[in-house]
């Protein structure tokens, strides 16, 4: 089995007591900074605040008034406007395929979130960990670092989301056993091997939940002759999505625009239709995992053989996902108990280690 909280010698909760045991002297007064962990995903933005828990968990979307260029909504409110606005409102998703594509919108969204939540601290009293995909370039990394800094948060650490997601799933990444995690999110799929507190290697495919939605839209156009919106496609994926070809067929009624008449109409889509869309994408993810094993040292392969693979990210919730990879790879696979929140929950520990690969850096 994959190592989890319960099987470790030292429970993760021990980190929560660090503040209590560190004596407050002028030299270590910075320990009192409020830790803020940010998982800025392509689809969802989550913010964790020490002592408060997850205080924001909403879509990574911001809406602007085109004339004044002011933010008028963000998160769920902006998401509800998607696909339905008039030309005075502009909807922006700051991230694309896991990386920031609109830095101004990313900053505006974070600013909006910070203005809505009560952090009980000025921004200079905040220590922040920002999670990013594995394959960000140096330029993208710099842009990410600047985000909290532009809000006045000076102490910022960047951590890979596969690492944070592993920690937040209860895996002890700090021991000497290799762990494999596959994070299938909204914009990208990241496969990572972790050992001794850090990422040994990683591979990224810019293909995940959003790509599936677009493929469902394409499928509906080609086979059902109807054009549907992205939110409808996402609902189809979540409600009907399965990679189990033997599962009983389920159907769903969806509405959109008829491609021939141009008029609104409804149609029935089946889970078999969605499986047809999902299988080639899951096959690509399986090939990404295989390519990661090709570069993995044999000793770590041996650990993963015994401990299995951890699935993370929203798309790991697709019905039969773990079983699919087990069947194709012959390895144990399990889905994280909290695939949508584990990355931000992992920052709870990473805020203490501050970018270091040993877990007790804070007490040194």
Q: Which two tokens stand for residue 128?
A: 């922040």
For 288, counting Cβ atoms within 10 Å of its Cβ (0-12 exposed, 13-18 middle, 19+ buried), the class is middle
Cα dist. 227→52, 186, 268, 280 in Å?
43, 22, 13, 22
Which of 41, 192, 197, 346 contacts Mg ion by CB under 5 A?
Answer: 41
Q: How far is the CB of 107 from ligand ATP (least distance, A)?
A: 17
Q: How far is the CB of 88 from ligand ATP (least distance, A)?
A: 28
Q: How far is the CB of 364 from ligand ATP (least distance, A)?
A: 31
Please tell me whether residue 186 binds ligand ATP under the rule CB under 6 A.
yes
Which of 173, 269, 278, 340 contacts ligand ATP by CB under 6 A?
Answer: 340
Please tell me whether residue 75 binds ligand ATP under the rule CB under 6 A.
no
Q: Of residues 207-226, which lie at the interface with ligand ATP (CB under 6 A)?
A: 208-210
187 is in the binding site of which of Mg ion, ligand ATP, none (Cβ under 5 to 8 A by kind)? ligand ATP
Q: Of residues 144-203, which lie at the interface with Mg ion (CB under 5 A)?
A: 185
Question: 91 phi and psi, to 5 degrees?
Answer: -100, 130
Please tell me whether residue 241 binds ligand ATP under the rule CB under 6 A.
yes
Q: How far is the CB of 78 from ligand ATP (least distance, A)?
A: 15
318 is in the binding site of which of Mg ion, ligand ATP, none (Cβ under 5 to 8 A by kind)? ligand ATP
Please tell me whether residue 256 binds ligand ATP under the rule CB under 6 A.
no
Q: Of residues 3-32, which lie at the interface with ligand ATP (CB under 6 A)?
A: none
Please tell me whether residue 318 binds ligand ATP under the rule CB under 6 A.
yes
- Give the C-alpha separation, 335 to 62, whole Å: 30
The residue (of 242 and 362) whose beta carbon lies closer to ligand ATP is 242
- Give the C-alpha separation, 361 to 28, whole Å: 13
Q: How far is the CB of 10 from ligand ATP (least distance, A)?
A: 28
For 220, counting Cβ atoms within 10 Å of its Cβ (0-12 exposed, 13-18 middle, 19+ buried), the class is buried
- Give the C-alpha separation, 42 to 99, whole Å: 7
Please tell me whether residue 42 binds ligand ATP under the rule CB under 6 A.
yes
Kindly report the number of other CB atoms within 10 A of residue 14's CB atom: 13
Q: How far is the CB of 256 from ligand ATP (least distance, A)?
A: 18
Q: Of residues 85-124, which lie at the interface with ligand ATP (CB under 6 A)?
A: 95, 98
Q: How far is the CB of 37 from Mg ion (least distance, A)?
A: 13
| Residues found near ligand ATP in the complex (CB under 6 A) | 41-44, 95, 98, 161, 185-188, 208-210, 234, 237-238, 241, 313-315, 317-318, 340
Q: By CB under 5 A, name the binding residues for Mg ion.
A: 41, 185
């Amino acid at each position: 089995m994959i190592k989890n909280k319960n099987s470790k010698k030292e429970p993760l909760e021990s980190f929560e007591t660090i503040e209590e045991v560190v004596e407050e002297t002028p030299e270590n007064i910075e320990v009192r900074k409020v830790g803020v962990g940010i998982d800025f995903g392509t689809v969802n933005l989550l913010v964790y605040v020490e002592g408060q828990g997850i205080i924001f968990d909403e879509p990574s979307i911001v809406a602007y008034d085109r004339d004044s260029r002011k933010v008028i909504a963000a998160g769920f409110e902006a998401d509800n406007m998607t696909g339905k606005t008039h030309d005075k409102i502009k909807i922006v998703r700051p991230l694309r395929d896991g990386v920031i594509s609109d830095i101004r919108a990313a900053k505006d969204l974070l600013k909006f979130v910070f203005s809505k939540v009560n952090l009980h601290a000025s921004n200079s009293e905040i220590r922040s960990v920002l999670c990013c995909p594995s394959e960000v370039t140096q330029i993208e990394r710099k842009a990410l670092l600047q985000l909290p800094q532009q809000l006045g948060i000076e102490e910022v650490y960047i951590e890979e989301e596969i690492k944070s997601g592993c920690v937040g799933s209860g895996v002890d990444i700090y021991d000497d056993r290799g762990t494999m995690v596959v994070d299938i999110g909204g914009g990208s799929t990241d496969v990572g091997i972790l050992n001794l507190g850090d990422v040994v290697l990683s591979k990224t495919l810019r293909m995940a939940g959003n790509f599936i939605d677009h493929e469902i839209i394409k499928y509906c156009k080609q086979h059902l002759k109807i054009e549907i919106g992205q939110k409808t496609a996402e609902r189809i994926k979540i409600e009907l999505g399965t990679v189990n070809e033997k599962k009983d067929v389920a159907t769903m009624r969806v509405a959109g625009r008829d491609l021939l008449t141009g008029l609104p109409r409804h149609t029935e889509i089946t889970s078999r239709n969605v499986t047809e869309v999902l299988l080639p994408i899951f096959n690509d993810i399986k090939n990404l995992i295989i390519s990661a094993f090709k570069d993995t040292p044999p000793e770590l392969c041996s650990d993963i053989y015994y401990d299995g693979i951890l699935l993370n990210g929203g798309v790991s919730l697709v019905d039969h996902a773990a079983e699919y990879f087990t069947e194709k790879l012959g390895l144990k696979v399990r889905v994280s108990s909290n695939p949508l929140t584990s990355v931000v929950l992992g920052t709870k520990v990473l805020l203490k280690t501050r970018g270091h690969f040993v877990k007790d850096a804070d007490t040194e």
